[in-house]
Each structure stands twice: as C-alpha cells, then as structure tokens.
Amino acid sequence: MDINNQIELELYFSDHFDTILFPVLATFYLKKNDLKRARKVCDIGLNYHKNDVSGWYVYAQIEKAEGNLKEAEKALEHVILYSKNHLSAVEMLCEVQTILGRAPKRLLKSWQHVLKLNPNNKIALGFINKVKVKKDNNKNNSLELKTVYKADISKINKPVLKSNIVKEIISEKSSEPLRISPKLATFTLVSVLKNQGLFDQALNVLDSLEQKGESLESINIEREIIQTLIKKSKKD
C-alpha cells in the first residue's frame, strides 16, 4: 500500500478503523484544510485509541483552526498529560491560553513548561522575566495577559504538516527494520511508532530527521525519551 496515495490510504482506513495510523490520514486532510474529514477520522481513531498523543494533537489543531479554542485547550492538555515533553503541544497551549485570557498563574505555569523543554525560547523567557519584574517592583498583580506577547505568538515555530509519512503500513507483527528517506520522515511518525512500542523504528526515523536538518534539540529530547522507554520495557 502506498500511503502517499490518498485514495489507497482512505480505502485502507475504511477497512481498518482501528489502525494506529489514523493520525496520518487526519493530518493528510488537515494539510488540505479539509477539517470535516480530519475530525471524522480523529473521532473514529480516538474511539479505538483513547490516549493516542498524535491523534489528540491533530484534534487540537482542528479545533484551533475552527476557532474552538476551549476545546483545543482541552485536547492539548490531554496530549501533555500523556506526553509531557511534547514541545509543540505546550507552545500551542500557551498561545491558546493567552488568547483565552487565562489566569496569570495558569499562563505562567504553561510558559515555565515551555522553558523547561526549550531553555532558549525567547517568548517564554520574556514572559517569565516580565512577570518577575512586576513582582519585584510590587506592581499590581493583575496582569493584562491576554495582550502580553500576543503579537509574538506567531513567531513560535510550529511543525509543518506533512502527509508523506512512510511508503508502507507498518504491521505490529513486522520485525523488518523501517526504511525511510529523510524526505518522508516526520515527528508525527516518531510519535506514532513510539506510542506503539516500536522504539528501534522510531530511532531510525529520528536519524532520518537529523539528516534532514530538523531541530537537533527536539530530536535529542525524543531520543532520550525513547531510550528511557526502552530501559523501562526491559525491566518489565
């Protein structure tokens, strides 16, 4: 099966509603701004895989694209609950919460989470420093957070949506190594493989992402997570 072919992918999904690759098809629709179909695929997939991080992240993007910010916030919180190192989700959560005008303490906690994952994030540093200065100067504790750095939100590096993930469907029973070119590698695929316990394949995709020139910091974070999961699985 050629996953780059939309018709083949749709036919496969129609016969395998329980496939772990539903986020791939949903992302395919999302990239084309076909939000209705993207939502339907996520609804079906999440019914079988209720805690699928990739699925919830795509779902959050759909809600955000449709202007349902409160629902997007809930979906992102679900992502972070099961994947605390999902930098893109935490950054998007900060964006959504800023627009929603969430409480200062709540926003501060989210930005601190971003800074923990990416110590060089200028927006997070600026926001946290601004809060610190206000506290040090004993100014009014009521911050107008809805507009603070709102103009800078657009500078957050968001992942590029891609539909070209792999050239074949990966079976859970397959022991063959994953062969993927740097051009087709994405962090979405890494997340899908990681969630299914296909750690070696996920590491191979990370190698391809490095060859592709993707963020080395994000790649190293994912590698550390996967190595930890491998050690844990061996102990179990």
Domain count along the chain: 2
Does residue 205 share a domain with residue 100?
Answer: no
In this structure, are residues 163 and 9 in contact, taking their beta carbons and an 8 Å threshold?
A: no
Within-domain flag for 179: no
On whether both 214 and 118 belong to a single domain, the answer is no
- Residue at 37 is within a domain: yes
Helix (H) or strand (E) holding 27: helix 22-31
Task: Read off the pLDDT of residues 27-77 as tens digits, 9 standing for 90 and up.
Answer: 989 999 999 999 999 999 999 999 999 999 999 999 999 999 999 999 999
| Alpha carbons 27 and 198: distance in angstroms, whole number | 21
49 part of a folded domain = yes
Q: Is the pLDDT of residue 12 over 50?
A: yes
* Containing structural domain, residue 197: 187-235
Q: Report yes or no on 181 lying in a domain.
A: no
> For the domain that residue 105 is a member of, what is the CATH number?
1.25.40.10
Q: How far is CA 155 from the centre of its chain?
A: 17
What does the block give as tokens for 16?
Answer: 């395998």
Q: What is the pLDDT of residues 105-148, one digit of tens each?
A: 899 999 999 999 999 888 888 888 887 776 666 555 544 545 55
- pTM, two decimals, is 0.59
